[in-house]
Chains A and B, each alone.
Chain A
Amino acid sequence: MRDLYQAQRAMRAMRRAALQRGVVAVLDVGSSKIACLVLRFEAEVPREDGLGALAGQSQFRVIGAATTRARGMRFGEVDAMQETERAIRTAVQAAQKMAQTRVDHVIACFSGARPRSYGLAGDVQILDGQVSEQDVARVLAACDVPDFGPGREVLHAHPVNFAIDHRSGFTDPRGHVGNRLATDMHLLTIDTQAVQNLIYCIRRCDLEIAGFASSAYVSGLSSLVEDEQELGAACIDIGGGSTGISVFIKKHMIFAETIRLGGDHVTLDISKGLQVPLATAERMKTIHGGVQATGMDDREMIEIGGDSGDWEKDRRRVSRTELIGIMRPRVEEIFEEARAILDAAGFDQLPSQQIVLTGGGSQIPGLDLLAARILGQSVRLGRPLRVQGLPQVATGAPFSATVGLCLFAANPQDEWWDFEIPAERYPARSLRRAVKWFKDNW
């Protein structure tokens, strides 16, 4: 835990340096596309009334955007390192070219790596009657960390709630008077290997990593509106190779999980079922696809085509109903998995059970009707928040994770490593090591 704490702190320092420099790139490494946005952070110009434009969202501006087909990614994880590196290079170079500036710091997100959520609780006696920064640090350190096994690493650790004695629901307990301080923390762990592979790919492109995020988390940040985040909502980000689910309440993520199923599987089903190449299947899915068959669809015939030279094979036609018949079971499967995960997470206990579908897969026509049957009545399709300077092509649902990453970069939520280190845990050796360093080098 200590190493990770230090590593995340170092990443935070790197991000602060990047923000001071003013230019930072966000990189959404997905399994079907890799998107890179270059953000320019502008110095906050205080207005006369003390408010910022667009409630503070205008502190950055997208000056470069590029998308490229993902290569070498499966289920949101790096599969072929060289290919992924090349794809990242392509996206970063195109975005740099559009921005006409060089970026050195990258904030990345990815959907795979098997995230797992843990709820942690810790409590501590307040030392001098009033909660100080040190008490907050101590209570966070006092959380009993579950044994999540080797090869796992903590990606997010959000203090969700603070309680003092019997009063709960504090977001900032500093200065309150009481005896016991308790906290609830949400911990998200991921596979170390998967993230290390991605770090390696990004490092190979001469880029410094200034932050990591789970794409389920950031797409929730961008596609859930404020009251949904406050009252409780789940964001289902249907991507290419995986589907991310995140649950928010009181503006904090309390649960995140990934299903290793996505739009690519639907394409694969079409390809297999109709015996067409993947490119044709993808095209049929995006142009004619759907999940709700009507009588009209029986009469709508789709030319499949083929380049075999065989007249019978090249003249094949299917009705749209058949296509829907292939797509629907797979989409249902994704939703059923999501339903099972949400049930296991206790989503039905939340006061509001809004479900927001986003991501590239959510563009299938009729998806919200199907989702409403499986996931509950309050389902809507979500698109990401608007940010300044974002090109029109990048404002759709497939870019909710990318836009969310911008928001994550601009105003991140406090995580465990943003708080002070408890005084008793301060390594005594560090001062000695500093003295030694001076002796060795001067």
Chain B
Amino acid sequence: MRTLRAPRRPAAPTAPRRDPAPSRLAFRAERLWLTPGFRRALRLGLPLLLVTGLAGGYLADGGRRAALQADLADLRLSVENRPEFMVGLMAIDGASPPVARAIRKMLPVTLPVSSFRLDLPAFRAAIEQIDAVASADLQVRKGGVLQVVVRERVPVILWRGRAGLEMLDATGHRVATLLDRTARGDLPVIAGVGADQAVGEALEVLAAAGPVTPRIRGLVRMGERRWDVVLDRDQRILLPEERPVAAMQRVAALDQAEDLLGRDIAVVDLRNEMRPTIRLAGTEAMGTADSEVVGQ
């Protein structure tokens, strides 16, 4: 008897995997697409071209360009004028009241003003133009404060020039004009053309004077090359061009040992180091020779 159930059928032979051949056109198109240069041109160049074309087309009209610029300017202004950026106060540190007043007067804009409008380097340069100011630091601080930190020049010496009495600092730079000598009686005086060029030397000479200091009336620059020390009682010490400090020390030592300046001497001439000379007072009146004493 035959079985009614059919035996299990073998799996139908699978049809060969379909891989249809591409057409010539498709093949060429795919090869073109796989060309790196073409691909880059299409993926980068084309959008770039599109964007620049659109932007260029929009901006080709002059009216649109102007409107765009005006919009941009408005935007900029509205940001600049925000309260966060406004400067309302100027604080000045380290300046004496007259200098502070001068600085306030020099500020080119009226406060309050946006910090974008402040040209701090230019303002700083203007402040440093003031003679009394050695240097200035400017900073816009939180809270809309323009902080100006000033370092003033310290007057160390008075210079009696053609224009009057001027205060100089240690480098010889002018600080201010002094109307009254007694206002700064603590400062020594120098005089003569070119004295301001040699303030450092003058200070060294004065420091070397030691016990003679109370008698010094001032220093006079002679011929823009050497110093004369003028004492009270019309006495003068003529210092050499070179090594004036040593010469001054020598005079101070002589004075201490021999009371040189206490005597009736008009001039101590140390211009020639090897041949110090003194002139007695009243010799001009006598008008005689033998007025010089050859040194010790």
Contact = CB atoms under 8 A, between A and B. Distances in A.
A binds B: yes
Interface of A: 68-69, 71, 86-87, 89-90, 92-94, 96-97, 100-102, 205-206, 277, 279-280, 283, 302-305, 315
Given A89-B22, A279-B15, 5 more contacts: A69-B19, A89-B24, A94-B19, A206-B28, A279-B13
Given A68-B19, A315-B7, A89 B27 contact: yes
Nearest to A304: B10
Contact of B22 (A90, A279, A302): A90
B257 interface: no
Given A102-B34, A102-B35, A205-B27, A93 B16 contact: no
Give the 10 A-B CB pairs with smallest separation, nearest first: A86-B21, A303-B10, A102-B34, A90-B21, A283-B13, A305-B10, A280-B13, A89-B27, A279-B13, A102-B35
B13 A100 contact: no
- Interface residue range, chain B: 20 to 34
B31 A102 contact: yes
Interface string B14-38: 1111011110101110110011100
Contacts of A71: 21
Contacts of A304: 10
Contact of A96 (B7, B19, B31): B31
B81 to A, nearest CB: 56
B12 A93 contact: no
B27 A93 contact: yes
Contacts of A92: 27
A67 to B, nearest CB: 9
A428 to B, nearest CB: 42
A305 B34 contact: no
14 contacts: A68-B19, A69-B16, A69-B19, A71-B21, A90-B19, A92-B27, A206-B28, A206-B31, A279-B15, A279-B16, A280-B13, A283-B13, A283-B14, A303-B8
A45 to B, nearest CB: 23
Contact of A303 (B9, B16, B30): B9
Nearest to A280: B13
Interface string B50-76: 000000000000000000000000000
A97 B29 CA distance: 12
A86 B24 CA distance: 8
A305 B12 contact: yes
A414 to B, nearest CB: 33
A418 B22 CA distance: 38
Contacts of B27: 89, 92-93, 205-206
B114 to A, nearest CB: 56
Contact of B9 (A69, A100, A205, A305): A305
Contacts of A90: 19-22
A68 B28 CA distance: 19
A93 B10 CA distance: 35
A303 B24 CA distance: 42
Given A206-B31, A279-B13, A305-B12, A89 B21 contact: yes
B21 A87 contact: yes
A300 to B, nearest CB: 13
Contacts of B10: 302-305
Given A283-B13, A305-B12, A97 B31 contact: no
A346 to B, nearest CB: 42
A93 B31 CA distance: 8
Contacts of B34: 96-97, 100-102
A206 B29 CA distance: 12
A102 B38 CA distance: 11
Nearest to B27: A89
A97 B27 CA distance: 11
Nearest to B15: A279
A22 to B, nearest CB: 12
Contacts of B24: 89
B40 to A, nearest CB: 13
Nearest to A69: B16
Contacts of A68: 19
Nearest to B21: A86
